[in-house]
Amino acid sequence: MNRALEFAATVRHDGHGGLEDALSTVEALTAWSGTPATEDLLHAVTDLRWAIRSLFAHASNAGPRIDTPYLRPLDEALHLVNTRAAAAPRSAQLHWGTPPTLHYVDTATPGERLLADLATSAIELLAGETRDDLRACPSPRCIRYFVRTHPKQQWCKPSCGNRARVSRHYHRTHD
Ligand SMILES: [Zn+2]
């Protein structure tokens, strides 16, 4: 899975009308990212995640969902994603061994590198062909984004389709 999609999915519907954040503490972020985190990095990561989710919502024409109040205007989200991606410029270095090998070097901190990697994954997804298959799962109680793997795929996973069918049935028989 594209890393930005995986990143976007670290915040989800808690099933009770709220949000559940898998990256809500410095420890959780450290464990998820493998990068020693701080409070500042946690805030920056959370901001970046809302910016990326805002771009995903825009690209997939997501309707109103429980996370809609957190979404940013397109220009603001775009600016943040591009700024984070630019904060860890890297250059290719050729090492003359047998065989010669390529190494990328940068002067970024681990935190800047993490933000840049996540932002770059989002840029690659949104600027690539997969963007046309990016979907916002329409199931009630789901706020995931996914890349469709076949033309008729409607849900991020089968259980979301089942939940939607049950909900439709409920409304038909109770409304
Ligand atoms: Zn879903």
- Averaged in consecutive runs of 10 residues, what is the pLDDT profile of the chain (175 residues)? 94 93 98 97 98 98 94 98 95 96 94 97 96 94 94 92 76 63
The rounded Å distance from CA 152 to ligand 1 centre is: 15
Q: Residue 141's closest CA among 10, 8, 15?
A: 15
Is residue 46 in a domain? yes
8 Å CB contact between 67 and 136: no
Crossing angle for the helix pair 74-86 and 110-127, to the nearest 10 degrees? 130
The rounded Å distance from CA 159 to ligand 1 centre is: 8
Is residue 17 in a domain? yes
Is residue 120 in a domain? yes
State the distance between the two ends of the chain, measured CA to CA, in whole angstroms: 39
How many angstroms separate the Cα of 121 from the Cα of each of 16, 57, 107, 117? Answer: 31, 16, 20, 6
User: Distance between CA atoms of 33 and 43, rounded to whole angstroms?
Assistant: 14
Is residue 84 in a domain? yes
What is the domain count for the chain? 1
Is residue 22 in a domain? yes
Residues lining ion ligand 1 (Cβ < 5 A) are 137, 139, 142, 144, 156, 160
- What pLDDT score was predicted for residue 134? 97
Is residue 175 in a domain? no
The rounded Å distance from CA 116 to ligand 1 centre is: 27
Is residue 123 in a domain? yes
The rounded Å distance from CA 156 to ligand 1 centre is: 4
Domain limits for position 53: 3-132
Name the residue type at position 89. P
Is residue 60 in a domain? yes
- What pLDDT score was predicted for residue 166? 78
- What pLDDT score was predicted for residue 173? 63
